[in-house]
Amino acid sequence: MAITRRRFLQVAGIVGLGAAATASVVRGIPAVRGLLRRWRPDNPPIAFHAGGTHPIGNFVVSVATRDGARPFLRITHAAEPTRVLWESIPGVAFLAAARTRVDVREFGTPEGSFDIRDRVLALCAQQSVDAFESEDGALVIRGTLSGAGRQTGYRMIFTSTSVNQVRFQVRLDSSQSASFNRLSLRFASAADEHVFGLGQQLTFLDQKGRQVPILVQEHGVGRGLPVFTQLVDLTEHGGGGTPYSTEAPAPHYITSKLRSMFLENKEYSIFDFQVPDRVMVTLYANTLAGRILYGRTPLDLIEEYTAYTGRMRRLPDWVHDGAIICVEGGTDVALEQLRQATRAGIPIAAFWFQDWSGRRVTPVGAQVWWNWKLDTTLYARWDTLVDALRAQHARVLLYISGFLTNTPGHNDLFEQARAAGYLVKRQDGAPYLIKNTNFYAGLVDLSNSAARTWIKGVIKHELIQRAHASGWMADFGEALPFDAVLHRDADPAVWHNHYPEAWAQVNREAIDEAGKGDDIVFFNRSGFTESPRYSTLFWLGDQLQTWDGYDGIKTAVVGVLSGGVSGFSLLHSDTGGYNAFSVKLLGRTVPVVARSPELFMRWVELNAFTSVLRTHVGLDPSISTQIDSTPTVLAHFACFAKVYRALGFYRKVLVDEAAQTGHPVVRALFLEHPNDAETYTLSQQFMFGSELLVAPVLNARHASVRVYFPAGTWVNIWTDAVVAAPHGAWKEAAAPLGRPAVFCRQGSSVGARFIANLKREALR
């Protein structure tokens, strides 16, 4: 990293965490925890000078008391008037405002992680509620926020947006309101309440007791894995990440008590669940908007949430026909891979070519040229390859991002964009060059409609027309700098989290404009609240090729489950993981992190029961097990590609359901069994729809797995053995390699058809 990119950037008004003195935030979490404990009053006072009960649509906002205690604000729904959807803490302010100054540093390899340091200059944490008023059909709460000799008025405006959604908006109302840039909400939670969602969180499914930054950023390499993360931080400019860093967060959650809220804002926020009896949401803006939802089940709440965010389009039928296999190395290599896969009997949906635009060698391995045109040297006879795949009823998938390389000889798209003013700029007007490994690239300015039209043209012409692509990995979206200059002075503090939404929208518009909207699949790793409206598929980014729960296979389960709660209903991971590392020792390459045959095969078993079974050769293919590394691995992969195909009939039903309701294909057990408290802590097993229970083996050298069976009778899909659990029960289930623990409900027509398909495929 160049020293000029490591400096701290003073950016007034972007973020503020509060404190009388400056304190650091290391990648969003560790220092924040201590900092918030120091600055915030635990119970800033509130004075109610008005009260009453105020209907707003089907919701009721009221000032209540409990056992003669101090008053508090409560929100309920007419359908269940005794169930509390939201309430403040008795006698404690539920709003606060602050004026801050903030420094932001972007770092990591690749750049796209963020260090935030802030200083609070003024804090108004004491609150009064002075009046409830009706205004154009809305309910308006008026009052003041004060502290340290400062004061500002506020309005909290409630409007009914639908039968089961009430919108709230907080606006500061004084001559000094523009100087405030941070708002906080503090409200009640139960000590035994479990919290799910917040986007694609990779380490923890239940966020109770934690503090989660809602910031799009690189998820890091290691993410807290002891020793390894520290080594990455030292060698890759702090790029190790934390258990809370993610490329696709969302300011939204659902709890075990069926409480759900989300913010509409794009600006950075923090959701703090550390104190058992409360939640604190801090937003780095001076206007806050969000919604409180009502539903009788968690799936009802997801349906309400995705009515706002938008829902993912159904996958085209060809995706369900088999595996999407990553191939790199040129035409001859690809044709030989096709012959081998065909001989092995692997059902193939597509080959995807990450290196279609050419390969570049960097210190971390083989990467690609970010100049989105077919490399006709590496892929000579491209049309022959495409025709060979078509003959096997397989498609072509490619790779693209919003980055453009400035390396001479591969920079014609960069130069086109630079000349037209389509790149994100620095303060001096030059293109903002963002570092990846040992090279830099410009980033397309998606706030510029002309730039969006231009990059859509590249997609339509180079990928769809010339390369005959049926889809692609639409990578990145996390690295927009906070001190960037955007078109017409668009605010980068808003655009940072919005950029991945816009990137998905650009790709969606490109395929729609090309007349391929129902047939092409692109998959994103970055995302935010409204990304599901545009994206056709998500994947979880670059996991380590390990068994661990920090950045390995276990996070692939947690990420799919948490993302599904927040509207990312079609999610999958790189089969086998992506990141692999080696060292040179006495002239030999010694693998340090590289997937073994066992890890790869267990990951294949896992992904056969998700939305998509897609492989990746990995960062360093030479040290990582591939689908054809041994005859055993090849046969295993062929088997589970057939399992994936055999389940296609039900997967199609689920992706249709996702398009209509937002329900995820892969579901945390609490979504289907919300009254079973045992399911609230289950993050390593899942439901596939409502009919299949899957408990993948996620530990090396294990041939069984401990499974929680919700109340009912379950049937092993491989053996027909019956497990009775009339009240829910933990059982040890045999799961030898090739026979993962998968069960269907007894009497399920889906289970019966799946088993029949397995028999037809000679898989049992």
Active site residues: 475, 478, 542
Nearest to 539 by CA among 558, 555, 560, 520: 560
Residue 739 CA to chain centroid, in angstroms? 30
Q: Rg (Cα) of the chain, in Å, rounded?
A: 26
Residue 508 CA to chain centroid, in angstroms? 18
Enumerate the H helices of 531-647 as residue ranges: 553-565, 597-607, 631-646
Two tokens, residue 342: 């065909």
Enumerate the H helices of 266-410 as residue ranges: 298-309, 331-343, 382-391
Interatomic CA distance for residues 306 and 594, integer angstroms: 38
End-to-end CA gap in the chain: 54
Look at residue 581 and give its three-state secondary structure.
strand
Interatomic CA distance for residues 719 and 703, integer angstroms: 15
Q: Sign of dihedral through CA atoms 608, 614, 618, 623?
A: positive
Identity of the amino acid at 142: R
Residue 53's H or E segment, with its range, is strand 53-56
Q: Name 220's Cβ contacts closer than 8 Å, sequence gap at least 6.
A: 27, 108, 113, 229, 232, 239, 240, 241, 242, 245, 551
Torsion-angle region of 241 (φ positive above 0: left; ψ -120 to 50: alpha; else: beta): left
Exposure on the CB side of residue 77, measured as CA atoms within 13 A: 19
Nearest to 219 by CA among 543, 530, 522, 554: 543
Interatomic CA distance for residues 147 and 39, integer angstroms: 13
Cis omega (within 30 of 0) for bond into 110: yes
Look at residue 178 and give its three-state secondary structure.
helix
Nearest to 271 by CA among 366, 337, 207: 207
Interatomic CA distance for residues 264 and 494, integer angstroms: 12
Q: Residue 162 class from Cβ within 10 Å (0-12 exposed, 13-18 middle, 19+ buried)?
A: middle
